[in-house]
């Protein structure tokens, strides 16, 4: 797990956008896993800028979103399909037929979950999965207690998540209580994960995810079992990490490798 700490959400989002862009440039036919919420907004606006100003080409990219509220039509302003159109898809040259957001109005969610998993498999799996994290440590809508082997299915939102998301709906009462979400097991199968977290209200969840035990009570902690995870944090979200000094050491080691300057060799 690589932990990158930037001074601000803006700097962290630019860093994350560079990682996404590098993949899209190296592998124009690729499959991205995308997230919604307040956290990835700056990442998406940076990708839009890269498309508009630098010609970053999404024409052969396929996308899969993590989750969707049950019952909301795509035209609902709080649906995740609407969010993705407004904050990313409408402003880049992705083919909308290659963008997938779970259907919150599926008639049979069990069958639909299996179908969504199959669609991901048919696309060759997810190359890079963008993730946020809930204050309760969830990834996607995998609330505390979700099986770490879970697949795409219905989940009931935890009270903490309902409270957190009330800001988007105007009141707690209006927040859907059910969502269809990729499972922890689905996320663990992506080739790379890029988790973003900003702000002091994420500091406890981030410390538990990175430095706590692997537990279904903090589903993001399952990422400790993943083969390649990058966490991009701002200072506030990183504030409760005990091994901060080491994460900074790792980053300076990466810079040494990039520049080819190894001080212990030069000094020898
Ligand atoms: P947020 O949500 O980006 O709006 O903080 C993250 C999440 O709940 O996964």
DSSP string, 24-44: HHH-SS-EEEE--SSTTHHHH
Q: Whose CA is nearest to atom 2 of ligand 1?
A: 37
Task: Find out whether the beta carbon of 209 lies less than 6 Å from any atom of ligand 1.
Answer: no
Atom of ligand 1 nearest to the CA of 138: 9
Torsion sign over Cα 80, 82, 83, 87: positive
CA 265 centroid distance within chain = 38
CA of 106 to the centre of ligand 1 (A): 24
To test the ligand 1 pocket, which listed residue (16, 39, 129) has its Cβ within 8 A of the most ligand atoms?
A: 39
Catalytic residue numbers, as ranges: 67, 136, 138, 143
Spans of all domains in the chain = 2-259
For residues 62-74, average pLDDT: 97
Residue 11's H or E segment, with its range, is helix 9-26
pTM: 0.96
Task: Using DSSP, state whether 91 is helix, strand or coil.
Answer: helix
pLDDT of residue 267: 66
Which 3-state string (H, E, C) describes 144-176?
CCCCCCCCCEEEECCHHHHHHHHHHHCCCCCCC
Q: Could you read off the pLDDT of 136-184 as tens digits, one per residue?
A: 999 999 999 999 999 999 999 999 999 999 999 999 999 999 999 999 9
In this structure, what DSSP letter does residue 139 have? B
Options 3.30.70.260, 1.20.120.1770, 3.40.50.920, 3.40.50.1360; which CATH number does 2-259 get? Answer: 3.40.50.1360
Atom of ligand 1 nearest to the CA of 168: 4
Q: Where are the beta strands (DSSP E) in the chain?
A: 2-6, 31-34, 62-65, 67-69, 99-100, 128-131, 153-156, 178-181, 192-197, 229-234
Query: What average pLDDT does the chain have?
Result: 97
For residues 71-86, average pLDDT: 97
């Amino acid at each position: 797990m690589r932990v990158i700490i930037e001074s601000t959400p803006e700097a962290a989002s630019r860093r994350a956008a560079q990682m996404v862009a590098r993949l899209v440039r190296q592998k124009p036919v690729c499959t991205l896993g995308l997230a919604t919420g307040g956290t990835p907004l700056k990442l998406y606006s940076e990708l839009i800028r890269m498309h508009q100003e630098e010609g970053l080409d999404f024409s052969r990219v396929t996308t899969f979103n993590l989750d969707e509220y049950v019952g909301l039509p795509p035209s609902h302003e709080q649906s995740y399909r609407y969010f993705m159109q407004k904050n990313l898809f409408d402003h880049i040259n992705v083919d909308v037929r290659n963008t997938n957001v779970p259907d919150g109005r599926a008639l049979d969610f069990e069958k639909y979950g299996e179908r969504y998993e199959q669609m991901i498999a048919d696309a060759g799996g997810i190359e890079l999965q963008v993730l946020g994290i809930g204050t309760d440590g969830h990834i996607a809508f995998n609330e505390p207690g979700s099986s770490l082997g879970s697949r795409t299915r219905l989940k009931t939102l935890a009270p903490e998540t309902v409270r957190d998301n009330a800001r988007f709906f105007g009141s707690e009462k209006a927040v859907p209580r059910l969502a269809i979400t990729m499972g922890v097991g689905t996320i663990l199968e992506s080739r790379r994960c890029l988790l973003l977290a900003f702000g002091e209200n994420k500091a406890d969840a981030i410390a538990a995810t990175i430095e706590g035990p692997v537990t279904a009570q903090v589903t993001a902690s399952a990422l400790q079992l993943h083969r390649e995870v990058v966490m991009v944090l701002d200072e506030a979200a990183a504030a409760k990490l005990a091994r901060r000094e080491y994460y900074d050491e790792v980053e300076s080691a990466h810079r040494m490798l990039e520049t080819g300057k190894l001080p212990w060799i030069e000094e020898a």
